[in-house]
Each structure stands twice: as C-alpha cells, then as structure tokens.
C-alpha cells in the first residue's frame, strides 16, 4: 500500500509537481492524496487539480490568529488521513496543531543551519558564500530547526543573482525531495536525537513531528 502524502504549497509548486510525476509509478511507494495552499492563486493548485488530486485552501487572513489558522489547516489535512505531510514551498510557519499531529517534512533552499527563514537564497548571496544548496528536514516547532534528512550542494557562480541561483537550487532540490519522500514511504525512518536514519522502523506507527521535537528536548 502506498503511503498517503499531503503536500502544502504557497506558490508555483514545482516540487509538488515532481512528487506527482514520481507517484505516477506505483513502485514509488507514495501517492499525493491532496494538495493544500495558504493563499488563493498558488499556481501549483491548478496543476494538482489538472492531475485529479483533491485540493484545499486555508487562508491565513480568514482566521483571527495563528493558532486558529493552524488548527483549521490541521483539520483540512487530517481529512485526507496522511502518513506524511510535505511542506514544499509553503511559506508559513506550522504550529503544534499540525506538527504535533502528523510527521511533517520541509524543503529549504539553503544548507541548514545556515540561512533559515523566508529569504534563504537572498541571505546566502548577501553573505558571500561560495557553496549553498538545499535541505530536507523534519519540521519541529522552530523555524527550519528540525533534524536534517538530506542535503544537496550548489555552487554560487560569479554574477549569480537571487533568480539564477534559486533556479539552480530548484533544479536539484526536487530530485532530492522525490528521493527522500520515496525512501521515507517505502522504508520508514528512525531518529536518534537529531540524527535521522532512513530504513525500516519495525512494527508500530511512524513518529510524528512532536515525537521529533520531544526527542530533541
Ligand atoms: C523552493 O525552492 C523551496 O525550497 C522554497 O520555496 C521554493 C518553492 O518552489 N522554500 C522555502 O523558501 C521555505 N522557506 P516551488 O513552489 O516551485 O516548489
């Protein structure tokens, strides 16, 4: 049985599209059962609909505060009974209502712990690093602080601007995300403090991101 994956997006959804393409092969081990957005007009929503995948939008502005938005989002996610939630270009911070309930992973366009936050590519360029990249990590209750699952490097070239560098990062990050989601789905994982090992977990439910947070306390 394929693992049920809910993908959260805010924009183009190229990472989400790569997951949809990979999941077309039943041997991949995961299928995208829903795509959610936090705003109207996220381009990836149209792509998901065209592929026949259920979509939902939980707009931040429709809720009185962050906790209630998070709770509403968690309810929408739960309707699709995910085994794994993938934050793929989702530009909002998930709270305990979400990360305490499901295992959640995120793709970030920098080599964490360097350059967390919403402007990772800009910040890496401004700092003058020669190598940057992308990270897939479990989401805990901090901002880009959860245990690292995998990373890929990208060289900063002379003359790069935010757009050219981000495009090169995007070209490699999606392959890593597809690989990680497939391996998590097929093989499971275990956590030893901050250390993630991909592979069989033995009997029992997969850990949630709250378990991840507690292991790190
Ligand atoms: C990706 O590069 C992802 O790493 C980044 O947003 C982009 C979304 O692209 N995420 C963050 O910056 C999270 N802080 P996509 O919508 O085409 O998948």
- Region at 202 (left for phi over 0; alpha for psi -120 to 50; beta for the rest): left
Question: What is the mean predicted confidence (pLDDT) over 71-91?
Answer: 98
**Residue 199: CB partners within 8 Å, gap ≥ 6?**
187, 188, 189, 190
137 is catalytic: no
- Which tokens in the block code for residue 23? 């999941």
Distance 73 CA to ligand 1 centre (A): 19
Question: What is the mean predicted confidence (pLDDT) over 55-73?
Answer: 96
CB of 12 shorter than 6 A to ligand 1: yes
Q: Which CATH architecture has domain 3-215?
A: 3-Layer(aba) Sandwich (3.40)
**Sequence spans of domains, the chain:** 3-215
Distance CA 54, CA 95 (A): 23
Average pLDDT of the chain, as a whole number:
93
Q: Are 24 and 56 spatial neighbours (Cβ–Cβ below 8 Å)?
A: no
Choose which residue among 41, 94, 107 to substitute to test ligand 1 binding: the one with the highest number of ligand atoms within 8 A of its C-beta: 107
Task: Kindly report the protein residue whose alpha carbon is nearest to atom 17 of ligand 1.
Answer: 14
pTM (2 d.p.): 0.93
Question: What is the mean predicted confidence (pLDDT) over 191-205?
Answer: 78
Q: What is the pLDDT of residue 197?
A: 94
């Amino acid at each position: 049985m394929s693992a049920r994956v809910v993908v959260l997006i805010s924009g183009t959804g190229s990472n989400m599209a790569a997951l949809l393409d990979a999941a077309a092969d039943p041997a991949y081990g995961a299928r995208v059962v829903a795509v959610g957005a936090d705003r109207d007009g996220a381009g990836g929503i149209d792509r998901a609909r065209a592929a026949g995948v259920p979509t939902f939008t939980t707009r931040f502005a429709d809720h009185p505060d962050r906790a209630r938005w998070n709770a509403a989002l968690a309810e929408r996610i739960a309707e699709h009974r995910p085994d794994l939630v993938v934050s793929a270009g989702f530009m909002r911070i998930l709270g305990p209502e979400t990360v305490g309930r499901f295992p959640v992973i995120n793709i970030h366009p920098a080599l964490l712990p360097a350059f967390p936050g919403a402007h990772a590519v800009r910040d890496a360029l401004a700092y003058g690093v020669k190598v940057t990249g992308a990270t897939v990590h479990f989401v805990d209750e901090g901002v880009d602080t959860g245990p690292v699952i995998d990373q890929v490097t990208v060289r900063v070239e002379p003359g790069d601007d935010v757009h050219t560098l981000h495009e090169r990062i995007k070209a490699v990050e999606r392959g890593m995300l597809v690989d990680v989601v497939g391996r998590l789905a097929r093989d499971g994982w275990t956590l030893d403090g901050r250390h993630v090992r991909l592979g069989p977990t033995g009997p029992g439910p997969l850990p949630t991101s709250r378990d991840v947070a507690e292991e790190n306390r």
